[in-house]
Amino acid sequence: MRQLTLCQVLVVATVLVIAALLTARASEWWGGMVPCALCLLGRWPYRVVIGFGVLALVVPRRMEPACAVGVVVAMLAGAAIALVHVGVEAQWWPSPMPGCVARFVPGTGVAGLPERPAKPCDDPAFLVPGLPVSMAAMSLAFSLSVAFWTALGVRLARRQEDAA
C-alpha cells in the first residue's frame, strides 16, 4: 500500500481549507449570512494554510516539514480564534473584538453609521437548519482536525523516510 507523501498531505489540507473558505463565502452570497468581526478574523489562519500549501509545492523536499509545521500552527491559531468565538456565542465571555458591536457616535448623523450593518459576534450563525452547531463550532472542529491530520502526516512521513 502506497502512503501519501508529506507534500500530498499538505495539498489535501490546502484543498480542504479552500473548500471551507468557499463554503463560508457561499453562505454569504447565497445564504444571506453576514459575517461578524470574529468570523472574518478566523479566516486568516485558513489563508495562511493556503500559503504554506502553495509553498510546499515549490520548495525543496527538505523544507516540506517546515511548511507542515506552519500549517499545524496556523490551524491551531484558527482553533483558538474559533474557541474564543464559540465562547462569545455561548455568553461565556465578552468579545475581545471592538467590531463585534456596532458603534454609533451621537451627533454624527448618518455618517456615524457603518457602511454595512455589523453582525454581533454573540449571535451564532447556523449553516444547517435544525443542527444546533454554529459555524464557529464547525470551524473549531475543522481546525483541530486539519491540525491533527497534518501533524500525523508529518509523523508518518518521517517514519517512512527513516525506514527507507
Convert the pLDDT of each residue in 101-152 to its tens digit: 555 455 555 454 445 545 777 788 877 777 888 889 999 999 999 999 999 9
Q: What is the DSSP string of 89-117?
A: HTTSS--S-GGGS----TTSGGGGS-SSP
Q: Can you tell me the distance from the alpha carbon of 135 to that of 80, in angstroms, rounded to the nearest whole number?
A: 14
Q: Can you tell me the distance from the alpha carbon of 127 to that of 11, in angstroms, rounded to the nearest whole number?
A: 26
Q: What is the DSSP string of 1-35?
A: -PPPPHHHHHHHHHHHHHHHHHHHHHHHHTT----
Cell numbers for 55, please give them.
509553498
pLDDT greater than 70 at residue 7:
yes
Cell numbers for 75, please give them.
490551524
φ, ψ for residue 29, nearest 5 deg: -65, -55
pLDDT greater than 90 at residue 18:
yes
Provide long-range contacts, Cβ within 8 A and 24+ apart, for 109-112: none
pLDDT average, residue stretch 53-63: 93
φ, ψ for residue 159, nearest 5 deg: -60, -40
1 falls in which pLDDT band (50, 70, 90)? very low
**Residue 115's pLDDT is what?**
53
pLDDT average, residue stretch 49-54: 96
Can you give the residue ranges of every domain in the chain?
6-96+121-163
160 falls in which pLDDT band (50, 70, 90)? confident
36 falls in which pLDDT band (50, 70, 90)? confident
* Percent of the chain at pLDDT exceeding 70: 86
Q: Can you tell me the distance from the alpha carbon of 58 to that of 54, in angstroms, rounded to the nearest whole number?
A: 7
pTM recorded for the entire structure? 0.84
φ, ψ for residue 33, nearest 5 deg: -75, 145
